[in-house]
Amino acid sequence: MTQGRFESRAYKSITKTRLRHLRDIADGLSIIHSKSIIHRDLHSGNILMKQYGNENTKYTRIGDLGLSKSATEADDNEIYGIIPYMAPEVLQGQKYTIKSDIYSFGMIMWEYMTGRRPFWDRAHDNELIIDICDGLRPPTVDIVAPEGYIELMKECWDPDQNKRPASGIKRAS
């Protein structure tokens, strides 16, 4: 079995393969959420890719569930995670929800299609937190993606968590 981190291998994939990996991530997130669990630290560093045996197929899985909590028990307002992947409401001190994970998934969608981490060119500091809370998102002008992809990605990172899809990937498949 060959394995490695998402960020070191994913950028070499062709678009069709990228979309399959994103669907795997979305399916995994859907399974986690169906059990009323919130990941709370979803970012590309927690996405694992595995290749079994001599198969050319790689499987993508969500890892590091160490900060995950039941949606019914996630009542603390502590902030966990990597700033560019954190939903604005979490950065503002609200509790994590399933919709916070959907926001993070939207950032992974952006990273996967551009080959860059969100806000790679900025310090991950209070200024970035303020800008994200004020609506700053990564640019989408140079992204080459299938029809509907950019719209779905923007829905996932909508500043209003009630406008985010319930599940990021049912629509992207």
Residues labelled catalytic: 41
Output the CA angle 45-46-51, nearest 5 degrees.
95
Q: Is 136 exposed, middle or buried (0-12, 13-18, 19+ CB in 10 A)?
A: middle
170: amino acid identity, one letter: K
Contact 40, 68 (CB under 8 A): yes
- Dihedral sign computed on CA atoms, order 112, 118, 124, 128: negative
Paired with 4 in beta bridges are 49
